[in-house]
Amino acid sequence: MSNFFNDWRQRATHRQVWALAAPMILSNISVPLVSLVDSTVIGHLPHAHQLGAVAVGGTLYSFLAWAMGFLRMGTTGFAAQAAGRDDGAALRQVLLQGLLLAMGFSVLLGLIGLPFQHLALEMMQPSEDLNDLTRDFFHTRLFGLPAALASYALVGWFLGLQNARAPLAILLTTNLVNIALNLWFVMGLDWGVVGSARASVIAEWTGALLGLALTHRGLRAYPGHLALSALKRWQSWRPLLTVNRDIFIRSLILQSVFFLITVQGARLGDATVAANALLLNGLLLMAHALDGLAHAVEALCGHAIGARDRDALRRSLNVSGGWSLICSVAFVGLFLLGGHLFIEMQTDITAVRDIAFVYLPYLAVLPFVAVWSYLLDGLFIGATRAREMRNAMVVTALITAPFAWLANGFGNHGLWLAFLLFMALRALTLGYLALKLNRSGAWFNG
């Protein structure tokens, strides 16, 4: 505890954390703001199945895209460690590998997207109106997948360089374009649910092209030459692919949880799946804000590990952890005091509002439960300890599964209780592994 208070007094560390976290919080919050705008625009159309279609279609797309989150997380850790070594050649290699993987996986996901959508909707058994609109929304969103995955790799690479301004520019541009086009296409041109999807596609391509343009400035600070011949050797791909494989398994399990929430909600009715989507928008808002601090942990801890600086690693984690706790408590207060207004802002459909109000207390509890897993994710990503992240997620899912099955008979209450348990176990398993690695001194020996 004395180390924590000593580290908390280090103003330089606070400045380092917030120099990275502040722009990332601003840019990250713009991501759920898009979902909020989608929900607000579509939620004020007359039918619950229209809002439900954006919720379900968005979940299907997110399941594919966010399962590829390793393209950002894996790239950040390797780029941060290369920057810590001042290795310009390695930075160029990591960037190109990330972009090549993004293109390859976008083709693969495009091929499996339609069969996946058909299977998912069969599981959900939605109403006919919800089914048709969801298909239209999802088919359109697939055109933005290559740009979305490229942006993951670009944002991860810039974060590894401790450059938070470029991700800020990429994400803000993407999401502000999305918001503006959403309002125009849906409200102005009356394109409805498909208009919302078209806005997202155009915005994703805009952000990816901007990110590519910004890489030149980032590379100038780290002189070096890309060894193209190294890309032909398996050994140059193996570390990145190994880390990405483990993060992929972890991300796939995590996205499956959110997917199953939507599946179960859809089975409970159009209004329930729409209400859950409004509540999950609150979770996304909180998660992306806290992820700004987690991104600072990734970059600073990865840099400290690359430079083999134990004191810097401890200071970065302690200061970031303190601020994460403060922010989580603020979100608890926000949802307790302003939760009803948050729901009312998103829709005026009475049936959806009434259901969302019933389950609002679960959203209010989530920030304090979830904050620890976000913080620890940042530590493990910066250390490129993907195997441990994978193992923690697998254990969490295995422990949660029987409780989720038993809770199935309690309807939507059981669904939210199982989700809270899952988030708490994420933090406990990661915390146990972090303490074990710290006691053995393995952070610098991996």
117-138 pLDDT per residue, tens: 888 777 766 667 777 778 888 8
* Neighbouring C-beta atoms of residue 183, cutoff 10 Å: 16
The CA distance from 187 to 49, in Å, is 17
In contact, 26 and 289? CB cutoff 8 Å: no
Tokens in use for 401? 């599964």
For tokens 């700004």, the residue is 292
Positions of E strands within 290-423: none
pLDDT at 227 over 70: no
Least confident of 206-215, 352-361, 384-393, 433-442: 433-442
Question: Which residue intervals of 85-164 are DSSP H helices?
Answer: 88-124, 128-141, 145-160
Averaged pLDDT, 418-426: 92
> Which pLDDT does position 27 carry in this prediction?
65
> Which pLDDT does position 43 carry in this prediction?
61
The CA distance from 195 to 238, in Å, is 41
Tokens in use for 2? 């004395």
Run of H or E residues at 71? helix 70-84
In contact, 332 and 367? CB cutoff 8 Å: yes
* Local confidence band at 248 (pLDDT 50, 70, 90 cut-offs): confident
Q: How is 250-286 classified by DSSP, letter by letter?
A: HHHHHHHHHHHHHHHHHHT-HHHHHHHHHHHHHHHHH
**Radius of gyration of the chain from its Cα atoms, rounded to whole angstroms:** 21
21-40: pLDDT as tens digits: 887 777 666 555 665 666 66
Please give the DSSP secondary-structure letter assigned to residue 189: S
In contact, 344 and 319? CB cutoff 8 Å: no
For tokens 């988030």, the residue is 423
Distance of CA 114 to the CA centre of its chain: 23
163-215: pLDDT as tens digits: 878 888 888 888 889 888 988 888 788 787 788 888 888 988 999 999 989 98
Tokens in use for 199? 């806005």
pLDDT at 51 over 70: no
Handedness of CA 95, 98, 104, 106 (dihedral sign): negative
Tokens in use for 243? 């880390």
* Local confidence band at 396 (pLDDT 50, 70, 90 cut-offs): very high
Record the pTM: 0.70
Q: In the chain, pLDDT over 90 holds for what percent of residues?
A: 14
> Which pLDDT does position 362 carry in this prediction?
92
The CA distance from 299 to 78, in Å, is 10
> Which pLDDT does position 394 carry in this prediction?
92
252-301: pLDDT as tens digits: 888 788 777 777 777 777 778 778 888 888 888 888 788 878 878 877 87
The CA distance from 220 to 222, in Å, is 5
